[in-house]
């Protein structure tokens, strides 16, 4: 895969996305713990060091609206489920409608994918709604509301 790209920030997320697009299953586990440096002189503008300095100065962090990520994860689960039935026109049309894509486009993307994970990562776009940044307090409120909803097992 070539390793981490020399990006100013987000190289870890890019690596995971590239792995999934290549067909590797990427496990995201909330129980996983990560140790990071607490240094305030970072290598990347907008990286963790900048965030820590802002927190030191009393600034509140902002982050992506969790509803966008929730939509994307649900759409990726639907795409993974659909991959096994991609030869069925109804499956392509249903998935395509939910993503705003033509059934022929869905089939074309599927033909280039080794498995459902790669297909899900390639076919599902970035969130089109709830794509704004929100404060930490707002994100926590949104997460509480999302976590209170009924949730089915993802594919």
As a whole-number percent, the residues of the chain with pLDDT over 70 amount to 97
* CA angle centred on 72, ends 144 and 139, rounded to 5°: 30
With H, G, I as helix, E, B as strand and everything else as coil, classify residue 64. strand
Q: What is the mean pLDDT of the chain?
A: 88
Domain layout of the chain by residue ranges: 9-59, 63-155
Which H helix or E strand runs over 145? helix 136-147
Q: Using a cut of 0.75, tell me whether the model's pTM lies above it.
A: no
**Residues 107-118: tens digit of each pLDDT:** 999 999 999 999
pLDDT band at 154, cuts 50/70/90? low
As given in the structure block, the two tokens for residue 117 are: 């994970």
């Amino acid at each position: 895969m070539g390793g981490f790209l020399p990006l100013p920030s987000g190289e870890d997320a890019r690596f995971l996305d590239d792995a999934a697009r290549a067909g590797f299953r990427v496990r995201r586990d909330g129980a996983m713990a990560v140790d990071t440096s607490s240094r305030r002189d970072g290598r990347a503008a907008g990286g963790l060091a900048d965030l820590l300095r802002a927190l030191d100065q009393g600034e509140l962090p902002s982050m992506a609206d969790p509803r966008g990520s929730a939509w994307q994860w649900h759409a990726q689960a639907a795409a993974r489920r659909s991959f096994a039935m991609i030869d069925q026109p109804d499956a392509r049309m249903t998935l395509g409608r939910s993503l705003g894509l033509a059934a022929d486009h869905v089939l074309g993307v599927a033909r280039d994918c080794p498995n459902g994970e790669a297909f899900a990562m390639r076919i599902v776009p970035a969130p089109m709604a709830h794509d704004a940044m929100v404060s930490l307090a707002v994100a926590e409120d949104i997460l509480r509301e999302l976590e209170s909803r009924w949730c089915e097992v993802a594919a």
